[in-house]
């Protein structure tokens, strides 16, 4: 009797004598190149995944995880870092048994045992077919003129029928097992979609932010975003109040509360407003003192963000001027105020900011205002072409390392375009949301 058979018998015996409250995960990969490789199991936390276990693939292709799982949610099996298979682990199912007849794993998957995963992969297959129809429709649209009204309408109907068929099939899958985790995630997802535009508490009514099972799916992040979007905010204070409400709603579970804190820090540091970010840090992070009780990832993010907050002395970084290294502090001290403009030469949103930036520079240059461009580019071709096509009048620098840019990392830049206003002593004066916002700030400073 091989290892696989022994494990199957042990699992059956164990669950025959007690209620189903945990789950065994095993399977077989019929590809000799996978023998001896490490298979990693990741657990979803919102849209991110954390490693929770690993095992080695046996010479006969069998694999099994020694531990049993009782945390219901979405997971991924990962081979060689990039080959991934989506899974549902539900503590009410005693066993998940998988077969992969080749690599990549997801294209050769057979679910031998687990109704949850059979439903999940039926959905994936139907979704793939729907996406193929949508791609074909999109391709056909490119061959038509705007005046081809009837043909365009016919394509719209084809696409709509494909989407409706997918949604009906999805609803039927959930209806066959209304108490399953699959159905639960689908119900919350649909309810959140229907709650859009009805106010933030309409989202709270359909999504339990203290439910760790919802946390272990991408639906959780959708709920947070829908809650914030439903604010229809007219001032920044509303985001701070919304953050407090969300933290209260998640307070029933420590795992949810810790994740939500980290997620809000990510959201507000990337998209703003900065006042909401500082509110979250001051209310939920600083009370921890040195942050020893915070998750390491949260503590590191907060420390980095505080270093580039308004009022702090900005980090001094080296800028690459076609092989010549320039120190940012040397460049900044020549002007009373300097706007750091983080951009990408292929980013249309970045290009859209340039006319207003040019106008501000022209208006206040005599009063010692300057702009420094820091391009998150990967090669000099786009960099030089963008400077020429946009007639950029200020000096631009790039490490040609994309998002690996040391300057972008030092200033915690999460998206482009991004603006940071420094004074001649490298103090961070403001972090404008866009070029128009910078113009208003400069008017207050100079006029």
Sheet with 48-56, strands from edge to edge, namely 48-56, 38-45, 73-79, 83-89
The predicted structure's pLDDT at residue 304: 77
- CB 426 within 8 Å of CB 314: yes
The predicted structure's pLDDT at residue 268: 86
Which of 278, 307, 336 terminates a domain? The answer is: 307
Residue 63 lies in a domain: yes
Strands 324-327 and 395-397: unpaired
Residue 20 lies in a domain: yes
Q: What is the 3-state composition of the chain as percent helix, strand, coil, each rounded to the nearest 5?
A: 50, 20, 30
User: How far apart are the C-alpha atoms of 91 and 71, rounded to whole Å?
Assistant: 7
Which of 113, 130, 146 terminates a domain? The answer is: 113
Residues of the domain holding 373: 318-446
Four-residue CA torsion sign, 320, 324, 325, 330:
negative
User: How far apart are the C-alpha atoms of 32 and 135, rounded to whole Å?
Assistant: 35
Phi, psi of 289 (to 5 degrees): 75, -115
Query: 134 and 89 in one domain?
Result: no
Query: 36 and 146 in one domain?
Result: no
Residue with tokens 């998150």: 376
pTM of the predicted model, to two decimals? 0.69
Query: 324 and 230 in one domain?
Result: no
Tens of pLDDT along the chain (447 residues) come to 444 444 444 443 443 433 344 578 999 999 999 999 999 999 999 988 989 999 999 999 999 998 888 889 999 999 988 899 999 999 889 899 999 999 999 999 999 999 999 999 998 999 999 999 999 999 999 999 888 899 999 999 999 999 999 989 888 888 888 999 999 999 999 999 999 989 999 999 999 999 999 999 989 999 999 999 999 888 888 999 999 999 999 999 999 998 999 899 888 877 878 788 888 888 888 765 544 456 676 777 777 777 888 888 999 999 988 888 999 999 999 999 999 999 999 999 999 999 999 999 999 999 999 999 999 999 889 999 999 999 999 999 999 999 999 999 999 888 899 999 999 999 999 989 899 999 999 999 987
Distances (CA, A) of 354 to 350, 381, 390, 424: 7, 19, 8, 23
Query: 441 and 393 in one domain?
Result: yes
CATH number at residue 364: 3.40.30.10
Number of separate domains in the chain? 4
Residue 183 lies in a domain: no
């Amino acid at each position: 009797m091989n290892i696989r058979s022994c494990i199957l018998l042990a699992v059956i015996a164990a669950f025959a004598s007690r209620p189903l409250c945990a789950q065994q995960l095993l399977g077989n990969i019929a590809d000799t190149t996978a023998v001896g490789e490490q298979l990693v199991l990741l657990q979803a936390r919102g849209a991110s995944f954390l490693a929770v276990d690993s095992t080695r693939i046996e010479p006969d292709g069998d694999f099994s995880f020694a531990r049993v799982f009782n945390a219901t949610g979405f997971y991924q099996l990962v081979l060689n870092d990039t080959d991934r298979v989506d899974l549902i682990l539900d503590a009410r199912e005693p066993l998940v048994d998988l077969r992969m007849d080749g690599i990549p794993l997801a294209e050769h998957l057979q679910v031998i045992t687990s109704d949850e995963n059979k439903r999940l992969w039926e959905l994936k297959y139907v979704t793939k077919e729907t996406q193929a129809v949508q791609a074909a429709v999109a391709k056909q649209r490119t061959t038509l003129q705007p005046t081809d009204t009837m043909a365009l309408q016919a394509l719209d109907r084809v696409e709509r029928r494909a989407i409706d068929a997918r949604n009906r099939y999805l609803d039927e899958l959930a209806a066959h097992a209304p108490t399953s985790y699959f159905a639960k995630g689908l119900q919350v997802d649909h309810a959140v979609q229907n709650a859009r535009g009805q106010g933030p508490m309409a989202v709270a009514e359909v999504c339990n932010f203290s439910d760790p099972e919802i946390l272990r799916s991408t639906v959780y992040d959708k709920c947070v975003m829908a809650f914030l979007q439903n604010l229809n905010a007219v001032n920044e204070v509303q985001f701070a109040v919304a953050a407090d409400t969300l933290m209260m709603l998640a307070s029933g579970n420590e795992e949810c509360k810790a994740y939500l804190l980290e997620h809000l820090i990510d959201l507000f540091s990337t998209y703003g407003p900065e006042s909401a970010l500082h509110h979250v840090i001051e209310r939920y992070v600083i009370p921890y003192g040195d942050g020893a009780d915070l998750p390491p990832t949260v503590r590191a993010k907060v420390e980095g963000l505080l270093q580039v907050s308004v009022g702090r002395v900005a980090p001094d970084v080296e800028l690459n001027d076609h092989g010549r290294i320039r120190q940012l502090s040397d460049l900044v001290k020549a002007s009373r105020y300097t706007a750091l403009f983080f951009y990408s030469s292929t980013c249309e949103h970045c290009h859209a900011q340039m006319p207003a930036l040019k106008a501000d520079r022209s208006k206040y240059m005599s009063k010692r205002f300057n702009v420094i461009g820091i391009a998150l580019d990967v090669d000099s071709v786009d960099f030089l072409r963008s400077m020429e096509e946009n007639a950029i009048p200020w000096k631009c620098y790039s490490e040609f390392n994309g998002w690996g840019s040391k300057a972008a990392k030092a200033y915690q830049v999460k998206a482009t375009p991004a603006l940071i206003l420094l004074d001649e002593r490298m103090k961070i004066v403001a972090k404008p949301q866009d070029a128009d916002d910078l113009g208003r700030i400069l008017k207050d400073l100079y006029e």
